[in-house]
Amino acid sequence: MTIDTSIVEEGEELARPSQAPATGVVTAAPRRSSRGPRKFLFLRNSKAITGMAILGFFLLIAVIGPYIAPYDPSARSDDILQPPSWEHWFGTTHLGQDVFSQILVGTRGVIVVGFVAGILATTIGVIVGVTAGYVGGLGDESLSVLANVFLVIPQLPLIILIAGQLPTVGGVTVALVIAITGWAWGARVLRAQTLSLRRRDFVEAARANGERTWRIITAEILPNLTAIIAAGFVGTVAFAVLSLITLSFIGIGITGEWNWGTVLYQAQSQLALQRGAWWWFVPAGLCIALLGMSLTLINFGIDEFVNPRLRSTGLNAKSLRKRGIRPRIGFTPVVYEAKEDRS
Q: Residues with Cβ < 8 Å from 170, sequence gap 6 or more? A: 254, 255, 257
pLDDT in tens, 280-333: 899 999 999 999 999 988 888 887 776 655 555 555 555 656 666 665 554 455
Q: What is the reported pLDDT for 326?
A: 60
Check whether 31 has a pLDDT greater than 70.
no
Q: What is the reported pLDDT for 316?
A: 59
Q: How many residues does the chain have?
A: 343
Is 26 a member of any domain? Answer: no
Encode burial over 117-129: b for 16+ CB neighbours within 10 A, e otherwise: bbbbbbebbbebb
Q: What is the reported pLDDT for 172?
A: 79
pLDDT in tens, 163-192: 777 776 677 788 888 888 888 888 998 998
Is 20 a member of any domain? Answer: no
Q: What is the reported pLDDT for 324?
A: 64
Average pLDDT over residues 194-202: 86
Confidence band, pLDDT 50/70/90 cuts, at residue 34: very low
Is 339 a member of any domain? Answer: no
Is 251 a member of any domain? Answer: yes
* CATH code, 165: 1.10.3720.10
Q: What is the reported pLDDT for 283?
A: 92
Count CA atoms closer than 13 A to 313's CA, side-chain side: 21
Give yes or no for a contact between 41 and 304, defined as CB atoms under 8 angstroms apart.
no
Residue 65 has what DSSP assignment? H
pLDDT in tens, 16-27: 544 444 444 444
Count of the separate structural domains present in the chain? 1
* Residue spans of alpha helices (H) in the chain: 5-15, 46-68, 99-135, 137-152, 155-165, 171-181, 184-197, 201-208, 213-216, 226-249, 260-269, 272-275, 282-306, 308-315, 317-322
pLDDT in tens, 48-61: 889 999 999 999 99
Is 233 a member of any domain? Answer: yes
Q: What is the reported pLDDT for 312?
A: 55
Is 13 a member of any domain? Answer: no
Is 197 a member of any domain? Answer: yes
Mean pLDDT across the chain: 78
Query: What does pTM read for this prediction?
Result: 0.74
Is 3 a member of any domain? Answer: no
Encode burial over 134-148: b for 16+ CB neighbours within 10 A, e otherwise: bbeeeebeebbeebe
- Percent of the chain, pLDDT > 70? 74
Q: Which domain holds residue 146?
A: 42-315
